[in-house]
Amino acid sequence: MILGLISFALLLVQLVLVVRVVLDWSVVLAGPAMPGSARSKAIDAIYRVTEPILAPVRRVLPPLRAGGISIDLAFIVVFLAISIVRSFI
């Protein structure tokens, strides 16, 4: 039962990370959110939840710059690590 709860918590973290990607792309495609808007509040909330998880990895593994874009390797590493841990559980 404990392992099931841990697996469920990790699944929730993965879902929140996917929401962060969607919101990041919404900023890229639609431009910055207006202050006080629902999208702005959602972005702030998701960043408050995910940044403590991603920031330590990002300090060790900075984003990969390729021309005008950068790929957040920390996100990829954290998402894959959670997937691996969940597969062992």
Query: Residue 87 pLDDT > 90, yes or no?
Result: yes
Cα separation, 38 vs 35, whole angstroms: 9
- Backbone phi and psi for residue 68, each to the nearest 5 degrees, phi listed first: -90, 0
Residues forming a β-bridge with 65: 70
Kindly report which listed range (7-16, 26-35, 50-59) carries the lowest average pLDDT score.
26-35
Cα separation, 37 vs 76, whole angstroms: 29
The per-residue pLDDT for range 69-83, each reduced to its tens digit, is 888 899 999 999 999
Query: Residue 45 pLDDT > 80, yes or no?
Result: yes
> What pTM value is reported for the model?
0.85
